[in-house]
Chains A and B, each alone.
Chain A
């Protein structure tokens, strides 16, 4: 089975532009997560969905960030307008079930550079 698939792998954009990151979770997984990795803060959870419904978006840094999951096989993370401090690696991850010890599977990440 294919793992979590993210696109684009690399994105360089100018400040003020809209950025859309895309994710296809592992088939059958009912939880989807968006994480951001930076040197200063490590891996931060931005938002997660359960059965396509956003459960906790308290990690979303500000209103410029939004995430959607229109169906079980697709999610987007949008930044509008983008700023240089948004430069980071954005990971999408998915998992199955709510039992203790469930493993989260990560995609390869989207490297965003805002200049």
Chain B
């Protein structure tokens, strides 16, 4: 049973436009969410995160929004650039003590010039 779901396997966007990647989760104990970016033949790298006490976190062109009531988060990239073309993984962890990250299956973003 997938606790973190990325229902869009792929997304195509034109350069300069906004890219919106979505993620849904089912575990109400999740309290910290992360996005990882993965280029071909490389390992995933951390991109941006958000705590459940916030509803928005921004870092340059990247903004993550969290809607706890809907158990939904999204990653916005504005403006999108060809170098953003990669697979984006949503991940979540729950609060008490140490817990591992649960990843979604990923969304492949293609930004065309």
Contact = CB atoms under 8 A, between A and B. Distances in A.
Interface of A: 4, 31, 33, 35, 41-45, 48, 50, 56, 91, 93, 98, 100-101, 103-109
How would you classify the secondary structure of chain A's contact residues: helix, strand, loop or mixed? strand
Contacts, number: 52
A98 B106 contact: no
A43 B103 contact: yes
Contacts of A44: 103
20 contacts: A33-B100, A35-B103, A41-B105, A42-B103, A42-B105, A43-B89, A43-B105, A48-B100, A93-B43, A100-B93, A103-B46, A103-B49, A104-B46, A104-B101, A105-B46, A106-B36, A106-B45, A108-B42, A108-B43, A109-B41
B97 interface: yes
A40 B101 CA distance: 18
B31 A107 contact: no
Question: Which residue, B95, B105, B106, has most C-beta atoms of chain A within 10 A?
Answer: B105
A43 B105 CA distance: 6
Interface of B: 31-32, 34, 36, 41-46, 49, 51, 89, 93, 95, 97-98, 100-106
